[in-house]
């Protein structure tokens, strides 16, 4: 997507040095645009854990590239297989909720296994990492093509008046390799000239909405307004929201969706106000092995300091300030689960479906067996 009129993805292989992965270090956005080189699997692990990269799709793509670096390192170690296993375990443990991480590592392990020697394994894992990234971008683009129909329909019902879309967190191109999930239909509608406006939840504690989604939309000229997290319900009661679209970090076989903390409350408010609530996600986010999201999806708990401190720009420097009594306890649950009964529909790369097993299996009939 565009940054200062130049096209960027969130992760790519350095053109000159093929063992260097490059990422946009998202910790500095929206104030600074910094590209970071990842040259070792330890860099990859830190980048995922400390959120230089974040968002389900991008975490998966980064894990895919991490596994490619792992094969290079493994070829220089005493035991290729032991090294690979050790790194894959460490990558999988970086963040628990987004299933794309496990999915990408497992896909890499299955592919690498097909190589007969370390040279072949390195080349296979490089190709697989690139495939994962390209597929992520392609799938997100398709999510836009399917999802835009919903926005166009609302626009028609409103006789071309502005469609107000509310989104939570960042499920934009920064959370994927390109285009985003929740934002892809938004970008598509904008390109088609549909009049839209986006309410951007700031998304405490890390402010992915205010920092990242707003920055993305601004770069593309999409009209938007940042709101405090608790504003959505009020806007809905006053007819100022036509549709809610968020992303997901994991969707169960029965359509429950884990997403950034606070999503569930938006779904409740949307239901109370009869407003359609959609989850947009590529199939890499579907966990076919889970059914009940509330009981089965692990919810990441992060450092409570993320709640007590806020980060921002002051006199040209990015600083962190304490916004709570230093000695108070804080809890930092990263995600919540929206039960499928509160979801109007799922927007995937293959089309729209009902948030349940029947709907998902209609789009993905090959999953009609228990793995």
Pick one of 101, 163, 169, 342: the residue that binds ligand MRU (CB under 6 A): 169
- Is the CB of 121 or the CB of 260 nearer to ligand MRU? 260
The beta strands (E) that lie in the chain are given as 2-3, 6-7, 11-13, 21-24, 35-38, 163-167, 196-201, 224-227, 243-246, 250-252, 257-260, 277-280, 286-287, 309-314, 317-322, 335-338, 345-348, 351-353
Q: Angle at which helices 99-112 and 80-92 pack, to 10 degrees? A: 170
Q: With binding defined as CB under 6 A, does residue 185 bind ligand MRU?
A: no
Closest CA to 332 of 293, 299, 296, 310: 299
Pick one of 52, 260, 266, 308: the residue that binds ligand MRU (CB under 6 A): 260
Q: With binding defined as CB under 6 A, does residue 208 bind ligand MRU?
A: yes
Angle at 274 (CA atoms; ends 271, 278), nearest 5 degrees: 65
Kindly state the tokens that stand for 100.
């794309």
Q: With binding defined as CB under 6 A, does residue 236 bind ligand MRU?
A: no
| Choices 2-10, 68-76, 125-133, 163-171 (CB under 6 A): range interacting with ligand MRU | 163-171
- Is the CB of 71 or the CB of 147 nearer to ligand MRU? 147
Let me know how many helices (H) and strands (E) the chain has, helices first.
13, 18
Exposure letters 184-203 (e unless 16+ CB within 10 A, then b): bbbbbbbeeebebbbbbbbb
DSSP 301: B
Q: Going residue by residue from 276 to 315, which x/- string records binding to ligand MRU, judged by CB under 6 A?
A: ----------------------------------------
- 106: exposed, middle or buried (Cβ count in 10 Å: 0-12, 13-18, 19+): middle
Q: Angle at which helices 118-157 and 183-191 pack, to 10 degrees? A: 60
| Choices 65-73, 149-157, 169-177, 188-196 (CB under 6 A): range interacting with ligand MRU | 169-177
Q: With binding defined as CB under 6 A, does residue 259 bind ligand MRU?
A: yes
Q: With binding defined as CB under 6 A, does residue 246 bind ligand MRU?
A: yes
Ranked by CB distance to ligand MRU, the top (closest) residue is 247
| Choices 79-87, 241-249, 308-316, 354-362 (CB under 6 A): range interacting with ligand MRU | 241-249
Closest CA to 229 of 192, 196, 199, 254: 199
- In DSSP notation, 325-348 reads -TTS----B-EEEE-GGG--EEEE
Catalytic-role residue among 201, 249, 256, 336:
249
CB of 193 to ligand MRU, least distance (A): 26
| Choices 136-144, 243-251, 311-319, 363-371 (CB under 6 A): range interacting with ligand MRU | 243-251
> How many positions of this chain bind ligand MRU (CB under 6 A)?
17
| Choices 167-175, 185-193, 222-230, 325-333 (CB under 6 A): range interacting with ligand MRU | 167-175
249 an active-site residue?
yes
Kindly state the tokens that stand for 157.
């019902």
CB of 62 to ligand MRU, least distance (A): 11
47-86 positions binding ligand MRU, by CB under 6 A = 54-57
Pick one of 181, 184, 284, 290: the residue that binds ligand MRU (CB under 6 A): 181
- Is the CB of 216 or the CB of 249 nearer to ligand MRU? 249
Pick one of 1, 104, 166, 171: the residue that binds ligand MRU (CB under 6 A): 171
- Is the CB of 41 or the CB of 181 nearer to ligand MRU? 181
Pick one of 64, 66, 185, 247: the residue that binds ligand MRU (CB under 6 A): 247
Between CA 260 and CA 151 the distance in angstroms is: 23
Between CA 356 and CA 301 the distance in angstroms is: 27
CA-to-CA separations, 87 to 36, 63, 83, 91, 124, in angstroms, rounded:
21, 10, 6, 6, 17
Catalytic residues: 249
- Which residues sit at the interface with ligand MRU, rule CB under 6 A? 54-57, 169-171, 175, 181, 208, 246-249, 259-260, 334
């Amino acid at each position: 997507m565009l940054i200062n009129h130049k096209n960027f993805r969130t992760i790519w292989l350095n053109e000159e040095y093929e063992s260097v992965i490059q990422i946009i270090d998202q910790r500095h956005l929206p104030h600074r645009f910094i590209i970071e080189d990842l040259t070792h699997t330890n860099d990859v692990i830190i980048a995922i854990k400390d959120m230089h990269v974040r968002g389900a799709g991008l975490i998966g793509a980064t894990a895919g590239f991490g596994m490619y670096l792992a094969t290079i390192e493994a070829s220089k170690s005493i035991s290729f297989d032991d090294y690979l296993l050790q790194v894959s375990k460490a990558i999988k443990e970086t963040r628990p909720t987004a299933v794309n991480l496990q999915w990408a590592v497992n896909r890499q392990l299955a592919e690498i296994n097909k190589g007969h020697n370390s040279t072949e394994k390195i080349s296979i894992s490089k190709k697989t990492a690139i495939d994962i990234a390209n597929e992520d971008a392609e799938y997100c683009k398709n999510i836009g093509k399917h999802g835009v129909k919903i926005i166009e329909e609302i626009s028609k019902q409103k006789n071309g008046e502005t469609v107000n879309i509310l989104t939570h967190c960042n499920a934009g191109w920064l959370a994927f390799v390109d285009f985003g999930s929740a934002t892809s239909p938004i970008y598509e509608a904008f390109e088609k000239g549909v009049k839209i406006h986006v309410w951007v939840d700031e998304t405490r504690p890390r402010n992915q909405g205010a920092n990242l989604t707003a920055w993305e939309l601004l770069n593309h000229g999409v009209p938007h307004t940042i709101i405090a997290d608790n504003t959505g319900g009020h806007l809905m009661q006053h007819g100022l929201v036509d549709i809610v679209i968020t992303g997901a970090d994991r969707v169960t076989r029965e359509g429950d969706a884990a997403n950034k903390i606070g999503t569930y409350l938006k779904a409740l408010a949307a239901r109370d106000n009869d407003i359609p609530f959609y989850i947009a996600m590529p199939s890499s986010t579907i966990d076919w092995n889970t059914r009940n999201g509330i009981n089965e999806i692990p919810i990441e708990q992060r450092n409570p300091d993320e709640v007590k401190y806020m980060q921002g720009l002051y006199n040209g420097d990015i600083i962190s300030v304490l916004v709570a009594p230093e000695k108070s306890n804080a809890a930092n649950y990263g995600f919540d689960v929206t039960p499928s009964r509160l979801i109007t529909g799922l927007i995937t790369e293959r089309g729209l479906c009902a948030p349940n097993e029947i709907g998902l299996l209609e789009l993905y009939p090959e999953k009609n067996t228990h793995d």
